[in-house]
Amino acid sequence: MNLPEKDQKNIWHPYTQHKTSKPAIAIKRGDGALLWDENGKEYIDAIASWWVNPYGHSNKFIADAIYKQLTTLEHVLFGGFTHEPAVLLSEKLMEILPKNQQKIFFSDNGSTAVEVAIKVALQYFFNKGEKKTTIIAFENAFHGDTFAAMATSGISFFTEAFQGMLIDVIRIPVPIKGQEQISFDALAKVLKSHNCAGFIFEPLVQGAAGMVMYEADSLDKLIKICQKNNVLTIADEVMTGFGKTGKTFACNYLTEKPDMMCLSKALTGGTIPMAITTFTQEIFNAFYDDDINKALFHGHTFTANPTGCAAALASLELLQTNEMQENIARVNKSHLEFQKHIESHPKVTTTRVLGVIFALEIQTESDASYYGTLRNKLYDFFIENGIIIRPVGNIVYVLPPYIISDEQLQKVYEVVEKALEIV
């Protein structure tokens, strides 16, 4: 029995209908932007394994930091204790985060980072004696799979089984080009009719929606409206954080700054699960009280895991090197050149680029749903050609490790262009 067959015996995979899906591909080894399966077939990881691996697979610098930490202190509970890696990571983050962010809370993954932010937004007003129970989110957002994160996500088939069991969320349109005022007006209307505690958003790029992009000045205006109405703002930078948009954080493009930020994915360079939610001092102060009931009673067993903190510190060190910043600029330049080449293709309706993110939308009359016929056909074509890309319906995106070579990137582009022929 081979590995995929053994896998099928006991394992339940994410986002998978096991009755109709093909067996999972068994990956044996990774190096840089490449992965190899058990049969020796080579794949270019063109989406950085769900956007977590910007510095390449089997990165020795991060691995050495993890090994050193494992032989010193692998883990200690964070309730009533602390350790140097957590303190050093908090200090490093304070250097690079927007200046209004002053406190960090550790958790395990992107969903839990969002869960913490939403709980804090709701309890912030509860602690102040105000009843605000509604969260505002964008249409077609995706913020995770835990309950509050799922509630703020707008992709219906992910959440339809749980309708009536979720927190109160009102959705507004994304301020894409030409529809900005519709979004502004929708937000103003919601604020008049509901007691809103927070507004959560993926800054500048909606990842799971198909890399939908909008402008920083539009988000600035939405944040200003929230500020005037005493509504907390939450930037979900789980996908966009740590260089994906060309800047360390997408929020660095903004004039206005969010009250909270959610970080994960590339935080540890794709090595150890870890997440962080950051806050302004004002938010923290609403929980700082003689009354123990005003504390944030939230935690995870592996909160601030020292090994994860060591991995994050090494990852941030890599991100800030001249070489890595030049890689980000190089990938962006290649994307722009490919965009110019492909945007006039008769089967391409739109293209978009921001930082290391490239996306194109395919013109089609066939099933273009999230896991529809077209998507599955495209996915299979990419896998057959040694490229790991997971299309979102009729949208194909590339978000590679920053260290991907020019030759590897050109092969990705060539296969994407060939894929248009099968549509």
Same domain, 234 and 311: yes
Distance CA(213)–CA(88), nearest Å, equals: 34
Phi, psi (5° rounding) for residue 10?
Answer: -125, -20
pLDDT band at 372 (very low <50, low <70, confident <90, very high): confident
Is the domain of 240 the same as that of 287?
yes
Q: How far is CA 156 from CA 139, 153, 188, 338, 369, in A?
A: 10, 8, 24, 33, 12
Judgement on whether residues 39 and 151 belong to the same structural domain of the protein: no
Instruction: State how far the Cα of 218 lies from the Cα of 212, in Å rounded to an integer.
Output: 14
Shared domain for 120 and 231, answered yes or no, is yes
Q: Round to whole Å and give the CA distance between 412 and 386.
A: 9
CATH, residue 40 = 3.90.1150.10
Q: What distance in Å separates the CA atoms of residue 100 and residue 94, rounded to the nearest whole number?
A: 9
Q: What is the mean pLDDT of residues 249-268?
A: 98
Q: What local confidence, expressed as pLDDT, does residue 163 receive?
A: 84
Q: What is the pLDDT of residue 319?
A: 98
- Residue where a domain stops, chosen among 319, 344, 378: 319
Cα separation, 332 vs 358, whole angstroms: 8
| Exposure string for 366-380, b = 16+ CB within 10 A, e = fewer | eebebbeebbebbbe
Question: For the chain, how long is the longest CA-to-CA vector?
Answer: 66
329 and 311 in a single domain? The answer is no
Q: Average pLDDT of the chain? A: 96
Q: Binning pLDDT at 50, 70 and 90, where does residue 367 land? A: low
Same domain, 54 and 78: no
Q: What's the mean pLDDT in 40-56? A: 98
Angle at 99 (CA atoms; ends 97, 101), nearest 5 degrees: 70
Distances (CA, A) of 364 to 367, 385, 388, 408, 416: 8, 22, 22, 28, 16
Answer yes or no: do 146 and 192 share one domain. yes
> Does pLDDT of 106 surpass 70?
yes
110-127 burial: b if 16+ Cβ within 10 Å, else e: bbbbbbbbbbbbbbbbbb
Range of the domain at 395: 3-58+323-422
Q: How many domains does the chain have?
A: 2
Answer whether residue 165 shows pLDDT above 70: yes
- What percentage of the chain reaches a pLDDT higher than 70? 99
Same domain, 85 and 98: yes
Residue 30's CB is within 10 A of a number of other CB atoms, namely 18
Domain end, chosen from 319, 343, 378, is at: 319
295 and 344 inside one domain: no
Contact between 167 and 118 under an 8 Å Cβ cutoff? The reply is yes
- Based on the fold, state whether residues 328 and 314 are members of the same structural domain: no
Amino acid (one-letter) located at 244: K
One-character DSSP codes across 288-302: -SS-GGGS-----TT
Residue 393 half-sphere exposure toward CB, CA atoms < 13 A:
17
Write out the two tokens for 127: 């602690």
Q: Say yes or no: 236 and 90 in one domain.
A: yes
pLDDT digits (tens, 9 = 90+) for 321-361: 999 999 999 999 999 999 999 999 999 999 999 999 999 99
Tokens of 406: 């020019």
pLDDT level of residue 386 (50, 70, 90 thresholds): very high
State the burial class of residue 20 (Cβ atoms within 10 Å of its Cβ: 0-12, 13-18, 19+): exposed
Using the structure block, give the residue that is written with the tokens 């991060």: 62
Give me the pLDDT at residue 365, please.
77
Look up the CATH number of the domain holding residue 228: 3.40.640.10
> What is the per-residue pLDDT across 196-245, written as a single tens digit (0 to 9) for each?
999 999 999 999 999 999 999 999 999 999 999 999 999 999 999 999 99
Token reading at 271: 């090595």
Give the pLDDT band of residue 368 (cuts 50, 70, 90): low
Over residues 131-149, the pLDDT tens digits come to: 999 999 999 999 999 999 9
Q: What was the pLDDT predicted at 135?
A: 98
Count of C-beta atoms within a 10 Å radius of residue 62 = 24
Residues 391 and 404 in one domain: yes
Q: Please answer whether residues 350 and 360 qualify as being in contact, where contact means their C-beta atoms are separated by less than 8 angstroms.
A: yes
The residue out of 256, 287, 319 marking a domain boundary is: 319
